[in-house]
């Protein structure tokens, strides 16, 4: 990693986003196009871009808007989608991903965005940024198109870890509530715990324990706990934040994506069927475009890693300029609001051990 000296230029009074230019399916051109989009829309962002300088410099040179708002950190190597996270930890110091995280670690940047390998990004983030005290398992929080006024719900964990005990689920609830406040301006978010039914006697043992513990922390942590919710509430309007383990969350996320994609494809097929339906499709184009915009996964692009000393936004591997720009917008919002510090304070203020939750019911207003 080359130590450049023009950080002052990129950073003058701005929120600085560290961006990994490499590792996405569409290469650095799409990332630079996304940065450029964001720069046009928001004069308060500056960038540090990580990757091979020889590749990045010509891409940057073409974008006038970026002239004095970006600096390049030369990082010759790239983490590929196939690389094993453990190998990246061992040998990945010269990669753009490592370099990008380092800018948050040393305080130069307020948040980092990468389109690269999720597993490697998570493991590198944990190793380099460290978990905040009280969090055993960091989580990935994703946005889900929903019937709520804000248009999206938050779900976590979307797959950082394949299991979660009651303590982890409590942390996810606290972190999810904090994210909803700082990322979506929901003053008092409604939190639900994902289960196979809404009755309190249902589900696995850790879910019943987590139900008690989250309930006890709701008032102090300033959220409403609506109790158990079901899969259909993920795109619903009964709750803003859905808490689950990373295995279930990952399956649910991919099931939702697969279902929406199937319906979309069948819709396109249906409209191609007859001349009349093709005419209808033409007339319906603005309507369908509106719908598409409403559920466009690029608009909700950005899985946020929660529970670390620093804000890390994972952009979809296949992100185009629009997707990268959405992820940068989210990183800006969270970086600017000091989200990472607020979240750490929130988690620190609520330490409810399992034995507390299951034996004492009277300390719910006073988590120590």
Q: Are 112 and 102 spatial neighbours (Cβ–Cβ below 8 Å)?
A: no
Under the binding rule (CB under 8 A), the answer on residue 297 touching a second copy is: no
The residue (of 176 and 256) whose beta carbon lies closer to a second copy is 256
Minimum CB separation of residue 117 from a second copy in Å reads 12
* Range list of β-strands (E), the chain: 15-20, 45-51, 70-74, 111-114, 139-145, 152-156, 190-194, 224-229, 241-243, 303-306, 311-314
CB 315 within 8 A of CB 115: yes
What's the angle, vertex CA 242, arms to CA 244 and CA 342, rounded to 5?
100
- Residue among 57, 196, 345, 353 that touches a second copy (CB under 8 A): 196
Q: Does 138 bind a second copy (CB under 8 A)?
A: no
| Pair 28, 56: CB distance under 8 Å | yes
| Comparison of 227 and 264: residue with beta carbon closer to a second copy | 264
Nearest distance, CB of residue 324 and a second copy, angstroms: 22
**Residues 306, 309: Cα–Cα separation, whole Å:** 9
Q: Quick check: 48 and 108 in contact, CB under 8 A?
A: yes
Question: What's the closest the beta carbon of residue 155 comes to a second copy, in angstroms?
Answer: 10
Taking the C-alpha atoms of residue 293 and residue 295, their distance in angstroms, rounded to an integer, is: 6
| Per CB under 8 A, 287 contacts a second copy | yes
Are 210 and 193 in contact, with CB atoms under 8 Å apart? yes
Q: What's the rounded Cα separation, in Å, for the pair 7 and 187? A: 35
Is the Cβ of residue 34 or residue 246 nearer to a second copy in the bound state?
246
Cα 138 off chain centre by: 12
Least distance between a second copy and beta carbon 151 (Å):
11
318 in contact with a second copy (CB under 8 A): no
Alpha carbons 140 and 169: distance in angstroms, whole number = 13
Nearer to a second copy, 103 or 146 (CB): 146
Instruction: Please report where in the chains the tokens 């800006």 appear, as a residue.
Output: 332
Within residues 75-104, the interface with a second copy by CB under 8 A covers none
Q: Is there binding between residue 194 and a second copy (CB under 8 A)? A: yes
Residue 244 binds to a second copy (criterion: CB under 8 A): yes
| 243 contacts: CB under 8 Å, gap ≥ 6 | 156, 169, 172, 173, 176, 191, 192, 193, 194, 210, 214
Q: Find tokens 């630079």 and name the residue.
A: 32
Residue from 49, 72, 169, 252 binding a second copy (CB under 8 A): 252
Contact segment (CB under 8 A) with a second copy among 48-56, 101-109, 211-219, 247-255 equals 247-255
Q: Which stretch binds a second copy (CB under 8 A): 50-58, 198-206, 300-308, 344-352?
A: 198-206
C-beta closer to a second copy: residue 38 or 146: 146
CA 129 to chain centre: 16
Residue among 61, 81, 263, 353 that touches a second copy (CB under 8 A): 263
Instruction: Determine if 262 is a binding residue for a second copy (CB under 8 A).
Output: yes
Q: Which of 94, 273, 345, 363 binds a second copy (CB under 8 A)?
A: 273
Choices 7-15, 70-78, 143-151, 347-355; region in contact with a second copy by CB under 8 A:
143-151
For a second copy, the binding residues (CB under 8 A) are: 145-147, 159, 162-163, 194, 196, 202-204, 230-236, 244, 246-248, 250-267, 269-271, 273-274, 276-277, 279-284, 286-288, 290-291, 294-295
């Amino acid at each position: 990693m080359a130590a450049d000296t023009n950080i002052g230029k990129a950073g003058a009074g701005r929120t600085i986003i560290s961006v990994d230019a490499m590792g996405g399916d569409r290469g650095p051109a799409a990332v630079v196009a996304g940065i450029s989009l964001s720069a046009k829309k928001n004069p308060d962002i500056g960038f540090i871009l990580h990757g091979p300088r020889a590749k990045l410099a010509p891409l940057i040179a073409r974008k006038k808007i970026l002239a004095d708002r970006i600096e390049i950190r030369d990082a010759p190597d790239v983490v590929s989608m196939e690389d094993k996270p453990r190998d990246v930890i061992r040998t990945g110091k010269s990669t753009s991903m490592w370099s990008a995280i380092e800018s948050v670690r040393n305080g130069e940047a307020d948040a980092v965005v990468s389109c690269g390998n999720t597993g490697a990004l998570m493991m590198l983030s944990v190793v380099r940024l460290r978990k905040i005290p009280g969090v055993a398992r960091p989580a990935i929080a994703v946005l889900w198109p929903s019937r709520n006024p804000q248009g999206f719900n938050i779900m976590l964990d979307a797959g950082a870890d394949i299991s979660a005990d009651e303590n982890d689920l409590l942390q996810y609830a606290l972190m999810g509530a904090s994210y909803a406040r700082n990322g979506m301006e929901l003053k008092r978010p409604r939190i639900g715990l994902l289960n196979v039914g809404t009755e309190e006697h249902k589900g696995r043992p850790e879910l019943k324990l987590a139900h008690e513990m989250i309930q006890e922390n709701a008032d102090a942590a300033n959220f409403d706990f609506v109790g158990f919710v079901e899969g259909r509430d993920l795109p619903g309007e009964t709750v803003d934040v859905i808490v689950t383990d990373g295995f279930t969350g990952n399956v649910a996320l991919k099931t939702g994506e697969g279902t929406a994609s199937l319906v979309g494809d069948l819709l396109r097929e249906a409209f191609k069927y007859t001349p009349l339906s093709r005419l209808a499709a033409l007339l319906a184009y603005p309507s369908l475009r509106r719908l598409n915009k409403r559920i466009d996964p690029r608009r909700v692009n950005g899985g946020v890693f929660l529970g670390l000393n620093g804000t890390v936004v994972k952009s979809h591997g296949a992100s185009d300029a629009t997707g990268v720009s959405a992820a940068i917008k989210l990183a800006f919002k969270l970086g600017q609001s000091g989200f990472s510090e607020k979240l750490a304070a929130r988690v620190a203020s609520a330490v409810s051990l399992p034995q507390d939750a299951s034996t004492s019911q009277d300390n719910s207003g006073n988590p120590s």
